[in-house]
Amino acid sequence: MSIDLAQFLPTFLEESYEGLEIMETGLLNLQSSEDDSIHSIFRAAHSIKGGAGTFGFNQVTEFTHLVETLLDEMRDGRREILKSDIEILLQSVDCIRLLIDADHNKIVCEDESISKVESLLNESLNSSSTDTQPQNENKSEKTQTATDAQSWLINFTPQPHLVQTGNDPLFLFNALADLADLEIVCNTSELPAFSDIEPKELYLSWQIKLTSSDATEDDIKEVFEWVEDECTLEITLLTNEAISDVQEDEAVNNDTQEQSIQVQSTQPESEQSSKQELAEPLSPTAITTDTNVLTTKPQSAIMGKDKAPAAKAKPDVGSIRVGVDKVDMLINLVGELVITQSMLSELGNDFDLSKVEKLTSGLDQLLQNTKELQESVMRIRMLPISFAFNRFPRLIHDLSIKTGKQIELVIKGEQTELDKTVMEQIGDPLVHLVRNAADHGIESTEVRLANGKSEKGTISLNAYHVGGSIVIEVNDDGGGINREAVLNKAIEKGIVEPNSSLTDAQVFDLLFEPGFSTASEVTDISGRGVGMDVVKKNIQSLGGRIQVESEPGKGSCFKVNLPLTLAILDGQLVRVGTEVYIIPLITIVESLQAKAELINRVSGNMVLYRLREDNVPVLPIYQLFNLEAQCTEIENALLVVVEFDGQKVGLMVDDLLAQQQVVIKSLQDNYQQVDGISGATILGDGSVAMILDIPGMITMALKQSKIAQKTAVNHNVEVV
Amino acid sequence: MPKFLIVDDSNSIRQMVSFTLKSAGYDVVEASDGLQGLQTAKGENFDLVISDVNMPNMNGIELCKELRKLPTFEFTPILMLTTESSGDMKVRGKEAGATGWLVKPFNPDKLLATIKRVVR
Amino acid sequence: MDIQSLAKDIPAQGEQSLEGIEFINNAEQYLTFVLGNEQFAIDILCVEEIRNWERPTQIPNSPNYVKGVINMRGIIVPIIDLRMKFGIGQCTYTVTTVVVVLTIEVEHKSKVIGFVVDAVSDVLNAEADDIKKAPAFGGSIPPEFITGLVNQDNNVVTLLTPEALYKIEKHQIDGCNQ
């Protein structure tokens, strides 16, 4: 029997990381109130240790053992739950995480934090008066004295209630039979009269002789391990004389009312080889390594059979835990799809025009099925944002210690669902925003008190859905952003011209300019080489955007707007020249036919279209993309008005086509990022269409007009 | 075919125990905590119960006590799966009516060899 | 079974791929194709498929030799006109015009790119010794594209370096955007 545990490694890893999160959350909660989360913390540590031992993660086992011991004392009330210990335990969680990684990659973790925390744990453990080290290592004292074939005599007298614990002597004898040949003699002398027999009691005892066995006394004791308290067990090594004694004994016994059973061992070999065969029936090349280890697998089995699980164990693949209900839903939908398909193919068998109506309704059904199926599949990728929010309680905890500020974290909307990929990529930007809020946003306690605020600052994370996107807010009730300071710094850095008049939103946007963050501002916490510009870039690469609102003295709010999924998009198909483009439906305000009287040319060849109160700049796609278009005159042209970040733009197109959902494909896979294009998709006829990146197009247009302005300005200067 | 009930809150351990037993030809039903285990046990008969000790909702010791109260589990072997090999643990298990104990780290061959003491 | 020792033996990903495959001889095989009047060749193992020319979807503001993208079984594949890129021959698109789709390994990722050529001609066997260094002074093709030259009867075939085809193409586009 060869059982490969490597295939369970991914499960163990996943579970361990979850366990660590449970520990972390639990430990943070422990501080605020003394609840029973200590039990779940203990259980998590306990499970990690158990699994780690199984997979040979020795560094983890050793380390977690200390943690577990400490937790065990806390759990039993033998130890007071001290703040200092919680701090050590939190650090231990980080250490275990490192060690799991190290053990997984089969390297020795040399991070100095490990030994530091280890000694802290030991210190803490030693400070307690009670001796709590569980004797885990008691297995090692195996005596290996007897190696030659020997015979043993066992007197086994169970207590009457033995069977009530679920033990059965017969099975014990069977287990013994695996060790050696047995001769068993049953003693029925204690058997009461039939009328007095208690059916649940055991009245028999046995004398067992093991002949020519390699088994040691410990091996035999091990078999009786579970019943040693419920029986009288005498094990004696038989010398040659003793054997003859026994034979005499037997002779005497045989005179009395006793029966003798012969149990022939199924495997006449020694324990070693019998278990070896048990473990490896296929291969004759099994190698025994040492006496404690039963067998190792032969090389061939590992190369052959284990290939698949090993491939699965690749850590990068990633996995999603999906609720059974979601899977059931999928199965149902696939079932419906199959029905529709068979209905349609039957219809196609002998089709004539009279059946057109049936065909149409069949196709409608197919459309419905596909749509539902698609939604369900998408839902599988959706996870509650709590997965991303989980790390923040710990972060805030650490940040308040580092900054010496009192910070409270409030989390709202953690059940809001988000695509797994988006979630994974939004984590770091959010961490940066929270660090920033703690470092720059929240004022020091003195300042807060001086300003009549509560001494405890609050950072709140909030997530909610708006249409097809999710909004994540990072709020702080700190001092707000100092508009003047930002502006001055930007001028100093040459990011904006002096005397330029900017709106608040524009000023706050400067925070995201590359090179805005200054050296004087870099602290241990938020100044880690990644600036806010990177945060913005990351968010934009996810198709999202970030906005800042701030009120002096009251605090700031960083609002991140992200698409729910990166895989699918509702789009409006438009045509420009020979090309079809897709405009994300979510960006479209309205589509209209331009009326000549509403077109204005202002400030040097800029075309504005009057849309009720707004003047909307017109952006001809053919110009931006260098295409041949059918319609180049703005008069009577079709305009699709889109909006991004409060900026409306009228895109000039040749024709409006259908609206449909499209699956987004990356251009970067085989090509590269293209300005103004967020991706591509495949249309019903198999052709490729580009998906327009509205913010990108606006940026492109701005760049073009800036270049135009600059040349114009330079020209003016020369003239003057 | 002998049918076993495996109760453990750790997914990986449960899967491994279950996999090991299944590949040895046993029938296995899984439960993720004591309470679920007890519910399952009330509906079916088993030839052996293997249970973890530390579990949410109902721990292994309580499960063992509850099972022993059921007429169908009066003589059923119940093994506790534990990392703690200390005597205290064994006494508590015994008091609750456990048949024996299996000490983690989990080793498949060892498991198969040991359960032969209580089932065949 | 000892799990510790077992865990050590888990083979790393891809460790035992391609075992037992033996090539018939040492010669590498190359697909030859025509640009204008010249013969070129590319390692045949890179060739994904050969397609008829179809009009691709344009990529906005791309250099003129990037013809656009096509859908190849759900994959978006960019199409580069090698004739235009190298300045060889006429860029006409006829029924014989074909697209050679290559899979190129770049930094452990495979990129699928189609190249427009005038025609595909043959498979060429060439051993390492057959490949001559290209003269340092030369035509319109940058030297990093060229692995070497192979004599075939009276003709000279230019072996192209697939990796370079991807890198240079990217580089050139970047340059063009500025």
pLDDT the model gives residue A587: 84
Chain A positions touching C13 (Cβ under 8 A) are 310-311, 314
Establish if C110 belongs to a structural domain. yes
Q: How far apart (Å, rounded) are the C-alpha atoms in residues A257 and A115?
A: 68
The pLDDT-based confidence of A42 (bands split at 50, 70, 90) is confident
Supply the ipTM of this predicted assembly: 0.80
In a domain, A283, yes or no: no
Confidence of residue A484 (pLDDT cuts 50, 70, 90): confident
pLDDT value of position C100: 93
Domain count, chain C: 1
pLDDT band at A265 (very low <50, low <70, confident <90, very high): very low
Do A76 and A159 fall into the same domain?
no
Write down the pLDDT at residue B109. 81
Per-residue pLDDT band at A128 (split at 50, 70, 90): low
Question: Do the domain assignments include residue C11?
Answer: no
Predicted local confidence at residue B7, as pLDDT: 92
Confidence band for A140, pLDDT divided at 50, 70 and 90 = very low
User: Do the domain assignments include residue C15?
Assistant: no
- Residues C178, C176: Cα–Cα separation, whole Å: 5
Question: What is the pTM assigned to this prediction?
Answer: 0.51
Cross-strand partners of A162: none
Using one digit for the tens of pLDDT, what is the confidence trace for A646-702? 788 999 999 999 988 888 888 888 888 888 898 899 888 888 999 998 888 888 888
Q: What per-residue confidence (pLDDT) applies to A461?
A: 92
pLDDT at A457 over 70: yes
| pLDDT, tens digit, 9 for 90 and up, residues A319-335 | 777 778 888 888 888 98
- Please report the pLDDT score of residue A295 as a whole number: 36
Residues A332 and A241 in one domain: no
- Note whether C1 contacts A295, CB cutoff 8 Å: yes
What is the nearest CA distance from A41 to chain C, expressed in angstroms?
27
Answer whether residue C10 is part of any domain.
no
Note whether residue C6 is domain-resident: no
Mean pLDDT of C120-136: 82
CATH class of B3-115: alpha beta
C19 contacts in chain A (CB < 8 Å) = none
The fraction of chain A above a pLDDT of 90, given in percent, is 7
Residue A146 to chain C, least CA–CA distance (Å): 24
Do both A522 and A404 map to the same domain?
A: yes
Q: Which residue has the higher pLDDT, A240 or C80?
A: C80
Pick the last residue of a domain from A131, A162, A186.
A131
* pLDDT class of B9 with cuts at 50, 70, 90: confident
* pLDDT mean across residues, chain C: 77
Please check whether residue C103 is in contact with residue C112, taking contact to mean a CB–CB distance below 8 angstroms: yes
Query: A174-227: per-residue pLDDT in tens?
Result: 878 877 788 888 888 888 888 888 877 888 888 888 776 777 777 787 788 778
Q: Give the distance, in angstroms, between the CA of residue A296 and the centroid of all CA atoms in the same chain.
A: 33
What's residue A572's pLDDT?
93
B38-55 per-residue burial string, b: 16 or more CB within 10 A, e: under 16:
bebbeeeebbbbbbbbbb
Are residues A269 and A191 part of one domain?
yes
Is there a domain that residue C8 lies in? no
Average pLDDT over residues A276-287: 40
- Domain coverage including residue C147: 26-177
Give the number of other Cβ atoms within 10 Å of residue C126's Cβ: 18
Residue-level pLDDT at B71: 85
Instruction: For residue A286, tell me if it sits in a domain.
Output: no
Same domain, A407 and A547: yes
Residue A508: give its domain's CATH number. 3.30.565.10
Per-residue CA distances from C144 to A28, C47, C161, C162, C165 (Å): 59, 20, 8, 10, 9
**Considering its fold, how many domains does chain A have in total?**
5
A315 in a structural domain: no
How many angstroms separate the CA of residue A54 from the nearest CA in chain B?
A: 5
Looking at residue A303, its pLDDT comes to 39
Asked if the structure places residue A506 within a domain, the reply is yes
Query: Is the CB of C3 inside 8 Å of chain B's CB atoms?
Result: yes
**In chain B, where the domains are located:** 3-115
| Mean pLDDT of all residues in A599-625 | 84
DSSP string spanning C133-162? Answer: PPPSS-SSS-GGGEEEEEEETTEEEEEE-H
Q: CB contact, 8 Å: B16 with chain A?
A: yes
Look at A42-51, A473-482, C25-34 and tell me which has the smallest mean pLDDT: C25-34
| CATH for A119 | 1.20.120.160
Per-residue pLDDT reduced to its tens digit, A422-449: 888 888 889 888 988 888 888 888 888 8
Residue A221 and residue A368 share a domain:
no
Residue A332's domain comprises 325-383
Please write the tens of the pLDDT for every residue from A157-188.
888 887 777 788 888 888 788 777 888 888 88
List the Cα angle A129/A130/A132 in 5-degree steps.
135
Q: Is residue C149 part of a domain?
A: yes
| pLDDT of res. A559 | 92
Same domain, A369 and A402: no
Q: Is residue A231 part of a domain?
A: yes
User: What mean pLDDT is predicted for residues A47-59?
Assistant: 83
Residues A531 and A658 in one domain: no
In this structure, what CATH number is given to the domain that contains residue C31?
2.40.50.180
Diameter of chain A by CA atoms? 135
Q: Are strands C146-152 and C28-35 parallel, antiparallel or unpaired?
A: unpaired
pLDDT bracket for residue C25 (50, 70, 90): low
Note whether A500 and A404 are same-domain residues.
yes
Of the residues A233, A251, A273, the one at which a domain ends? A273
| C57 within domain boundaries | yes
- Per DSSP, A312 falls in state H
Residue A497 within any structural domain of the chain: yes
A62, A289, A292, A672, best to mutate vs chain C, most C CBs in 10 Å: A672
Question: Which 40-99 residues of chain A touch chain B by CB within 8 A?
Answer: 40, 42-43, 46-47, 49-54, 61
Q: What is the CA radius of gyration of chain C?
A: 19
Do A408 and A364 sit in the same domain of this protein? no
- Give the residue from chain A lying closest to B73, CA to CA: A166
Give pLDDT, residue A316. Answer: 46
Determine the length of chain B: 120
Inside any domain, residue A574: yes
**A127 assigned to some structural domain:** yes
CATH number for the domain spanning A211: value is 3.30.70
Q: What is the DSSP letter of A42?
A: H
Task: Find the distance separating the first CA and the last CA of chain A, reported in whole Å.
Answer: 94
Which candidate from A9, A580, A680 shows the least CB-CB separation from C69? A680
Q: Provide mean pLDDT across the span A330-356.
A: 87
- Helix A37-54 to helix A83-104 angle (10° resolution) is 30
A317 touching chain C per CB within 8 A: no
Q: Give the whole-angstrom CA distance, residue A582 versus residue A570.
A: 9
Cα(A59)–Cα(A410) distance, integer angstroms: 36
- Is A563 within 8 Å of A468 (Cβ atoms)? yes
- pLDDT band, very low/low/confident/very high, at A573 (cuts 50, 70, 90): very high
A302 contacts C6? CB cut-off 8 A: yes
- Statement to judge: residues A330 and A466 lie in one domain: no
A358 and A209 both lie in a single domain: no
| pLDDT confidence tier of residue A317, bands split at 50, 70 and 90 | low
**What are the angstrom distances between the C-alpha of C32 and each of A108, C35, C40?**
52, 10, 5
